[in-house]
Amino acid sequence: MIKNKFSFNLPWKAIIKYLSLAIIIVAIFYVAPFTNSSDRKPKFIAKSDILHDSLQIIDARYFDQQRISPLKMLRGALAEISRKIPPVLVEFEKNNQALIIRVGEEELAYKSIKIANLTALEDHLQEIIQFIKNNLVATDLENIKDVDYAAINGILTSLDPHSSLLTPQIYKDFTSDAKGAYAGVGMLIRARDGKIGVLTIIGDDSPSAKAGLKDGDLILQIDQYSTAGMKVEDAKNKLRGPKKSKVTLLVKREKVADPLKFELIRDNIKIASVSSYKFKKPNADIGYIKIGREVASSNEALKRHLTKLGVELSGFKGLILDLRNNPGGLLNQAIDISNSFLTSGVIVSIAGVDKKDISHYKAKPFGTTKDFPLLVLVNRFSASAAEIIAGALQKNHRAVIIGERTFGKGTVQSLVERFSDGSGLKLTISQYLTPGEESIQSVGIVPEINVIPNIVSTDFIKVLPSIRKSEKELTNSLELSSLNEPATSLLSLNYLDVNALEEKEEDFSAYSGRLDLKILKKDFLITAAINILRSLDGKDYNSVLDATKKYVTSENLKQAELIAKALKEENINWKTSAITKPVATKNPLVVEFSIEKQIEKPIEKQVEGEETFLTWNKPFPANTKGRLKFKVSNNSTQTLNKVIGVINPDSFLFGQRQILFGEILPQESKIAYIPFETKIFELARIGGLIVEFKSDNNPNLQIFENTIAFTGSKLPNISYSYNFQNKGQDASTKEIIASSGSKIEAKIVMVNNSDIDTGPISLVIKNGDIDFISLNLGRSEITNIKGREKIETSLSIELAGIPKDNTYDLLFSTLFKNYPILNVEQKIALDYDKGIASFINNPPIIKFTKEPLLQKDASFSLQASIKDDFGLKDIYVIHNNNKIFYSRLKDNAKSYPLSISIDLDSGNNEFFVIATDSQGVKSQRAVITFSPKK
């Protein structure tokens, strides 16, 4: 156990005296142990108080003490520090407990590290964190506290995927969202076209709604501040403020010539997490309620919507409660919402640190609405609090559940501490059990009716359910601890989803309180639920279940005909044979595979609708159409029915694609294609391809394995030059003076030093000092820079006021739409009342000197040449999200030959090489190889 902090009862003068003496002693004698630099003089760095407090809280309150492994937590902390802070490299020896931490050229080494408890873990981590902080330079990270945050988050994620340390800004946003209320104008925003766009207006009575602001409006200015290049967080802070305070917006609206001005009075805003609609029919009204997530006001809002729908009226036939895509929220709201539909029974049980001590939350007879028929819709993205509601209504026989098995998050997190720096600790403190003390952790709520959408088009077919992504797939997910095995669905409903391939707009109903009626009325599950409820003879659970089963049985027959008809149009016979005997022949299916590349014909020879494909045996190029060709032959004496191949979900470009052949007669062969198109930007890679073939009368026909090679895109090589000058100043002037009131123009020249066109590029200034800088023109769009072409553009800013540090902070971003790996960000500081010289910016050039191949060995030799005209600062390599190499270069070396041997993981191995030059400009390149080793 970690000891509590000591408290002293001493006079203040004595305290100050002893503290001062202690600081002097530590400052004189502190030496980072085991470093290889004997003449280094470390500065005094206080121990991390939030690390100490976090470990104390984990020790006292984490709900599963058996998962607390100090050595694993140390590894997690160091891995996260290494991921977040480039100069830090951590090496754990695999066969023993030796540990080396490097920061640049400095090294801290432990020959053997043994950690018996959390006190020892803190001692080691405090020493390591102090060593890291002492050896970081000013340009390595903005906030030294980031080392603490990374360490604590690494500790927490080693316990489970939901515990975390929230940084001050994230904590502030998290608590506002959980409360479901804040003081502001009532809109959801995001960056758009270099400014701030309105995603949706929240509610009908918010200041934004009353003033007439609309979804899609573009905010040009908030009070006196231009939104050009403004960060979303900064805009959010500008829009929020004290209740009854005023904020003025300048807004550009589509099809309106001049900007519109809005003066808004801030008010308390409640996030509209509940929305509703009534499907009207004489004496058969059906209510529909969607809960997007559970915030502090959700149950109160639910009550209002139930009253609005008239659930107590005689003509009300039933309610559809939609919990699809609901990620969860507050436990107390889940309990209250469940109680709104229940008069008795257990809603949920909570098991904390002591698993024997289980708290049961039971429904109360008062405050419950009339006992009308209820159907609940769920899917794989329904999680946490949404699963509590679905489980409570299902287990108490209050509602029939329709949809997909839910996500399976059966743990409860709480904000257990807010630290003095504004950060907060979110910790898993308990697990919840549905009635009957069943855990849904990693299992989910299993619906009575499992609904499977079938998609049939020329380019995409899916008739089997996708492999479910759930809690179980998350790193360090908690294991199932249920007293009972999970149930199975009573029936499955397969339907032809004719809307699946449509491009759907984002659903903001959880914020706005408004539903898109066009989407609502096309939703198959909602239509099915309406038909079930309108067919009811009774109101109790069994009546609803019987009506549901009857509808599903009938609808399955109709949908089977629709699916078979759609597949027949694609020349696939998908009807089940009357006799489906198991196939006796060993290896009844012979599979032949090839890749074909589409060949473009000259325009004068091209026939409309004609496509020409040729077999392609080389690595497949980027920005090209192709198709996988599968020829299967029935090598048995029996007919194979409903033959299908399902591609492994981890297969690049093709994961979970389904290849349908339908009926194959004895000795018959059939061919099917999977069309695909590589993007203009692709990584060089070797991808594994695994296909599982099955049929009605043989669920394990064959497992087919192969690999596909892809050629990486050829990339443009862009150099930049920036010339800052006062507006109207002669371009030949080399320096400007940055002062309050200055209007400054950044003239930018970009040169394409390659033969590859760039495609669209966005140049953006982001404002680091929002109170002192106004971006008049903070974004410039470039359609394309052709090979060997030079273009010029400009951005402009206006300085207003003087920052406390006398430095105006800017961030220049160059964003490539076609080649995102070329994106560049560079910090620029304009010093008040000082001259600022122009400069040239050429990102480091990284070229792989060895293409990825199918790896027969257990290791891979990563080789690259790295060059930069201004000199390289540091280079590091990431392998499957783990940093494996770092080097800080001396004397502004202009080239570096990278060559390292790496042990491969099974399957895909992704490598990122990142290089930073002496000006802080970063480049990265990536390559993927494949290892079939088991």
Helices (H), 537-594: 541-568
φ, ψ dihedrals at 313, nearest 5°: -80, 155
**Which of 653-660's residues contact partners 24+ apart within 8 Å by CB, and which partners?**
653/678, 653/687, 654/628, 654/689, 656/462, 656/466, 656/467, 657/460, 658/461, 658/462, 658/463, 658/464, 659/461, 659/630, 659/691, 660/461, 660/463, 660/567, 660/570, 660/572, 660/574
DSSP letter at 688 equals: E
Let me know: does 544 contact 400? Beta carbons within 8 Å.
yes
Q: Which of 254, 265, 252 is nearest to 209 (CA)?
A: 265
With CA atoms as reference, report the closest residue to 266 among 238, 249, 243. Answer: 243
Name the token pair of 32.
């980072």
Based on the residue annotation, tell me whether 384 is a catalytic residue of this protein.
yes
* Residue ranges with strand state E in 601-696: 612-615, 625-634, 640-647, 658-664, 669-677, 684-695
The label of the residue with tokens 């000092």 reads 769
Which of 363, 234, 273, 321 shows the shortest CA–CA distance to 774?
Answer: 234
Contacts by 644-647, CB closer than 8 A, 24 or more apart: 644/463, 644/464, 644/693, 644/694, 644/695, 645/672, 645/691, 645/692, 645/693, 645/694, 645/704, 646/464, 646/691, 646/692, 646/694, 647/674, 647/689, 647/690, 647/691
Max CA separation in the chain (angstroms)? 97
Measured CA to CA, the distance from residue 837 to residue 724 in angstroms comes to 7
Catalytic residue among 236, 317, 409, 426: 409
Question: Cβ(436)–Cβ(482) under 8 Å?
Answer: no
CA gyration radius, the chain? 31
Determine the Cα angle at 662 with ends 657 and 667, to 5°.
120
Q: Which two tokens stand for residue 277?
A: 């609609």
726, 653, 647, 652: which is closest to 691 by C-alpha?
A: 647
Residue 32 to residue 131: CA distance in whole angstroms: 6
Phi-psi region of 614 (alpha: psi -120 to 50; beta: other; left: phi over 0): beta
Q: What are the backbone dihedrals phi and psi of residue 69, each rounded to the nearest 5 degrees, phi first?
A: -120, 105
CA count, 13 A, side-chain hemisphere, 77: 24
Dump strand ranges (E) for 223-266: 225-226, 246-252, 260-265
Return the ∠ at Cα 618 (arms to 615 and 622), rounded to 5°.
Answer: 95
Residue 304: Cβ within 10 Å count: 12
Alpha carbon distance 432, 395 (integer Å): 14
Residue 662 backbone class (left: φ over 0; alpha: ψ -120 to 50; beta: rest):
left
The distance from CA 934 to its chain's CA centroid, rounded to whole angstroms, is 29
Q: Are 362 and 345 in contact (CB under 8 A)?
A: yes
Q: What residue type is assigned to position 114 of the chain?
A: K
Active site includes 206? no
User: What DSSP designation does 452 have?
Assistant: E
What gap in Å lies between CA 603 and CA 614, rounded to an integer?
18
151 three-class SS:
helix
Q: Which member of 158, 349, 384, 931 is catalytic?
A: 384
Q: Which amino acids are annotated catalytic?
A: 384, 409
